[in-house]
Amino acid sequence: MSLFLTLVVGGAGGAVAALAARWRAARRISRDGDRGPSKSEEAPSEKIETSRAPASSSSESDAKLHHLLKQNDVIVLADGSELWLASALLLSEASPRYTLFVAPAITGDRYLLADATGRARLVLLDHCELDPGTEPPSCVVAGETTFERIRRLPLGVTPYGELPLTLQAPSEITFAEYTSGRHVLLCLTGNTFAFAAMGEELVEGSYDHLPSEARVT
């Protein structure tokens, strides 16, 4: 199983100085403000819901994608690599629950799962060759690692931007999240559609957020 852009900035002189100032002012995504319960407060049992709700209209502002992140923002990782959030899937019940951002790259697209309910939780994922089937199982064994399902939700889908073929999802999907320590496995299924990606939660303070409006072009 295969487990796991460069933002080009032009200009010289004053533009370079402005860019440097904006990079220094790039906001870190903090846990201050609205957020959900901490991990220690969450119930350990898996959440399974059966009701479905329509996805939000695609004409809504892309601010609806996440309480802090927007399409075309950039996430700068600790190793200096950058993730341009070029497109996204908004996954909703009566209100947004998750946003799966797509960061295109020559070596392979990467994915950023963000909790759209207000929690500052980001999971960096890479596509993996795993077929979850039409109904995600309660546990998945990948190599020597056993992933336990902690969440299964029927969600509506609203696409934003030009999505890769791997994320051409129907209007309704089943969202399944599995964990093994800090490792996360995400499975999305619906009709003939199936998508799986594996990765880890990003540690608080290990990344910077560069909003699209702060970039110099």
Q: Provide the residue range defining the domain that includes 111.
A: 46-69+87-204
Gyration radius of the chain over CA positions: 18
Cross-strand pairs, 99? 90, 114
Closest CA to 3 of 94, 124, 121: 124
What share of the chain has pLDDT > 70, as a percent? 67
The answer to the question of residue 152 being in a domain is yes
The answer to the question of residue 175 being in a domain is yes
Residue recorded with tokens 């299964």: 152
Closest CA to 1 of 209, 199, 170: 199
Q: pLDDT tens digits, residue range 20-62?
A: 344 444 444 333 434 444 443 444 445 444 333 333 333 344 4
Alpha-carbon dihedral sign for residues 63, 149, 204, 145? negative
The answer to the question of residue 138 being in a domain is yes
Average pLDDT over residues 167-193: 93
Whether 200 has a pLDDT exceeding 70, the answer reads yes
pTM: predicted TM-score of the whole model, two decimal places: 0.69
The answer to the question of residue 94 being in a domain is yes
Q: pLDDT tens digits, residue range 77-95?
A: 999 999 999 999 999 998 8
Alpha-carbon dihedral sign for residues 111, 205, 200, 43? negative
The answer to the question of residue 160 being in a domain is yes
Please tell me the total count of domains within the chain.
1
The answer to the question of residue 114 being in a domain is yes
d(CA 98, CA 208): 20
The answer to the question of residue 116 being in a domain is yes
The answer to the question of residue 37 being in a domain is no
